[in-house]
Amino acid sequence: MTAPLLLTPGPLTTSDAVRAAMTVDWGSRDPLFVAMSDEVRATVATLAGPADQVVCVPVQGSGTFAVEATIGTLLPRDGRLLVLVNGAYGHRMVQIARTVGRSVTAYEWVEDAPVDPTQVDALLAADAAITHVAVVYCETTTGILNPLREIAAVVARHGRRLLIDAMSAFGALPLTLADVPFDAVMASSNKCLEGVPGIGFVIVRREVLATCKGNAHSVALDLYDQAARFEKDGQWRFTPPTHVLAALHAAIVAHRAEGGVAGRGGRYLENRDILMAGMRALGFQTLLPDALQAPIIITFLQPASTSYEFERFYDALRRRGFAIYPGKLTVADTFRVGCIGQVFPDDIRRFLVAVREAMNELGMTDGAAVTVE
Ligand SMILES: Cc1ncc(COP(=O)(O)O)c(C=O)c1O
C-alpha cells in the first residue's frame, strides 16, 4: 500500500534525499555527526538572526517539547506570561505555563480573528507585572496569520520579552530579529524545513539565554544546560535522534537550494492560491478571508450537502492518494488541507481532480457550506 501525499500540518511528505539520509547509523560522538549537528544548529539560527546574536538549541521530541523548554527556561520563576490566544496552540502555551508553575494570563480572540496589537498595547499598559508575551505566528488551528511585526513592536515598546511559536511558519514565512524583536522562536524539524518528526528547536537571543541558568523546571528540557553543553563539546546531553538530525541536515541543504525562506514560501503560496481557487470553483468556502490566510494550511467550511460526511470524503481522497486533515475549530465544522511539505503545484492540481471525483462518489453537487456570515 503506497503512502498518500500528506496535505496536513505535519508530519509531512518528505523528499527521497531526506529519507535516504536516515539510512546511516551515526554514533553520537562521531566527528562527522557532531559536525552535522553543528551545521544544522548554525544554519537554522542564521535563518532568524546573526550568529553573534542568536543560537539554536534543539531538543529531542516534537514541537511541544521545544515550547515547554522555552517557557520553562526563559521565564524566571517569578516571571509572568501573557499568552495571546486565537487557537489551540495558544491554549497549549497557557496549559504549559500553568503546569510548570509560572504565573500566566491568557487573552483570547475568536479563532477566525487575528491577534489585535492595539489590545496587546492596552493589556501591557494595564499590567506592569507581565514580563513575557507569547504568541503563535501562524495558528495552525485555522491557518490564520497573526500580525507578528506589529505585535513585536508593541511588546518591545513596553520593554517586555516576546516568545514566538513559529512552529508551522518557520522556514517559509519571514521572521528575522531585525524586523521582529524576539527573545525566542520555537519551531520543529518536520514542518516548513521539511525534515522528519523528532526534533523541536528554539532560536534564542544569546544575551537572554546567558541569564537563564537555574530557571528550568526540568532537567531534560533545560535549554540553558543544553546550550552550555553544545558550547563545550558539541554534544547533545542525552541520546540524540541521530537519524532525524541527519534527515534535517539533508532538509536544510534542500531548503537553501530552493532559495531559502523566500523560495520555500513562494512555492507554498503558489500551492495555496491554486488550492483556494480550485476549491472555490467547486463551491467550497474558506473560513478565513484571503488577507488572513497563511500559505500553510487552509480551513474549509463543512459542505451543507447531506451527502457529505468527513470520514467518507477522507476515505475517497485517501484511495486517490491524498490525506487531508480534520478541522480543529470549536466554533464551526470544518476540514483542513495543507500546502506544505514536498507538495508542488501539479500535486495540488491532481488533488483538485480527486476532490471532484470524491464529490461525485459521495453524490455531492457542490461544496457550498450552510451559511457564510
Ligand atoms: C503552531 C503550532 N504550535 C505547536 C505545535 C505542536 O507541535 P507538536 O505536535 O509537534 O508537538 C504545532 C503542531 O502542529 C503547531 O502547529
For ligand 1, atom 2, name the residue with the nearest CA. 167
Domain 260-362 falls under CATH 3.90.1150.10: yes
Summarize pLDDT for 312-344 with one digit per residue, the tens.
999 999 999 999 999 877 778 999 999 999 999
Q: Where are the domains of the chain?
A: 16-257, 260-362
- State residue 266's pLDDT score: 98
User: What would the pLDDT profile of 270-321 be if each residue is shown by its tens digit?
Assistant: 999 999 999 999 999 999 999 999 999 999 999 999 999 999 999 999 999 9
Residues of the chain above pLDDT 90, percent = 96
**CA 356 / ligand 1 centre spacing (Å):** 31
C-alpha cell at 369: 457550506
Atom of ligand 1 nearest to the CA of 137: 1
CATH of segment(s) 16-257: 3.40.640.10
CA of 141 to the centre of ligand 1 (A): 10
Q: What is the mean pLDDT of the chain?
A: 96
The answer to whether the CB of 10 is under 6 A from ligand 1 is: yes
Cβ atoms of 41 and 249 closer than 8 Å: no
Residue 174, phi then psi, degrees to nearest 5: -60, 135
Cα(281) to centroid(ligand 1), Å: 31
Confidence category of residue 371, pLDDT binned at 50, 70, 90: low
pTM of the model: 0.97
pLDDT at residue 124 greater than cutoff 70: yes
What separation in Å is there between the alpha carbon of 136 and the centre of ligand 1? 10
Beta strands 138-139 and 132-136 are: unpaired
Cα(357) to centroid of ligand 1, in Å?
Answer: 32
The span from the CA of 366 to the CA of 123, in Å, is 44
Tell me the pLDDT tens digit for each residue of 209-227.
999 999 999 999 999 999 9
- Residue with the smallest CA separation from ligand 1 atom 12 is 167
Question: From the alpha carbon of 10, which atom of ligand 1 is closest?
Answer: 14
- DSSP track, 158-226: TT-EEEEE-TTTBTTB---TTTS--SEEEEETTSTT---SSEEEEEEEHHHHTT-TT--S-STT-HHHH
In the sheet with 334-338, reading across from the earlier edge strand, the strands are: 297-301, 334-338, 325-326
Residue 370 binned pLDDT confidence (cut-offs 50, 70, 90):
confident
Query: pLDDT tens for residues 151-199?
Result: 999 999 999 999 999 999 999 999 999 999 999 999 999 999 999 999 9
69-87 b/e with 16+ CB inside 10 Å = b?
bbbbbbbeeebbbbbbbbb
The confidence score (pLDDT) of residue 372 equals 47
Buried residues in 121-145 as b, exposed as e (16+ CB within 10 A): bebbeeeeebbbbbbbbbbbbbbbb
- The CB of 9 under 6 Å from ligand 1? The reply is yes
Q: What's the confidence (pLDDT) of residue 309?
A: 94
Q: Is the CB of 165 under 6 A from ligand 1?
A: yes
The pLDDT of residue 373: 46
Pair type for strands 161-165 and 132-136: parallel
